[in-house]
Amino acid sequence: MKAFRETMSWIVPIVIGLLIALLIKQFVFQIVRVDGPSMEPNLVNNERVFCLKTAKIHHGSVVVFDANGVDPQVAQKTDYVKRVIGMPGDKVQSKNGNIYVNGKKINQSYISMDQRKAGTGDWTLKSISVQNSWLKHNGTTTVPKGEYFVLGDHRSVSNDSRYWGFVPKSKIDGVVKVPSWAGTKTTRQNVNKEWQHFYAN
């Protein structure tokens, strides 16, 4: 009996610790690894960032979502990291290197002029939904209720909403937060606080 109590005295704290860790990962935050160059220069391949589960999603927020069921090429749970450009009800258009949301030009100082022009293309939601044969919302002119339009920062290599459509809120795991020891002051600002300066002055 003494041996059992001694065994339980160290097993119980371990089990409790594991349960707390699982709850934190499920409902508070988790660490996510960036895979690929689609968010360069602000997030780079293999960079570790926090995914905050309860943070509010804004225009310009960088989010983590499960691409399974969103990107037709993905057949199992796969995390994508992209920036929210269109919120539910928004009209989004790209023209001459500028992106307009509901007719207002957005601030894109977080990427180079080349990425804005050569990488983004000229389109409306309707034109790209038809051109790229979206499986859902083909021919739409606005972002549907409960869904989001997302782009990678490195537009010329990013596989994003332009090609397969919108991301349902139910697929979004959380908002990305770059810790103080990662990246540079500029790239942290471009990820953590860009949403505060979404529209161009």
Domain parsing of the chain, residue ranges: 30-197
C-beta of residue 122 within 8 angstroms of C-beta of residue 57: no
- Catalytic, out of 2, 9, 25, 38: 38
pLDDT of residue 25: 47
pLDDT of residue 46: 93
Structural class in CATH, domain 30-197? mainly beta
- Catalytic, out of 82, 129, 161, 171: 82
pLDDT of residue 22: 46
pLDDT of residue 51: 95
pLDDT of residue 28: 47
pLDDT of residue 114: 87
Can you give the length of the chain in residues? Answer: 201
CA distances from 151 to 5, 15, 16, 19, 60 (A): 55, 40, 40, 35, 10
pLDDT of residue 2: 62
pLDDT of residue 4: 59
**Sites in the chain below the pLDDT cut of 50:** 18-28
The verdict on whether 82 is a catalytic residue reads yes
pLDDT of residue 11: 64
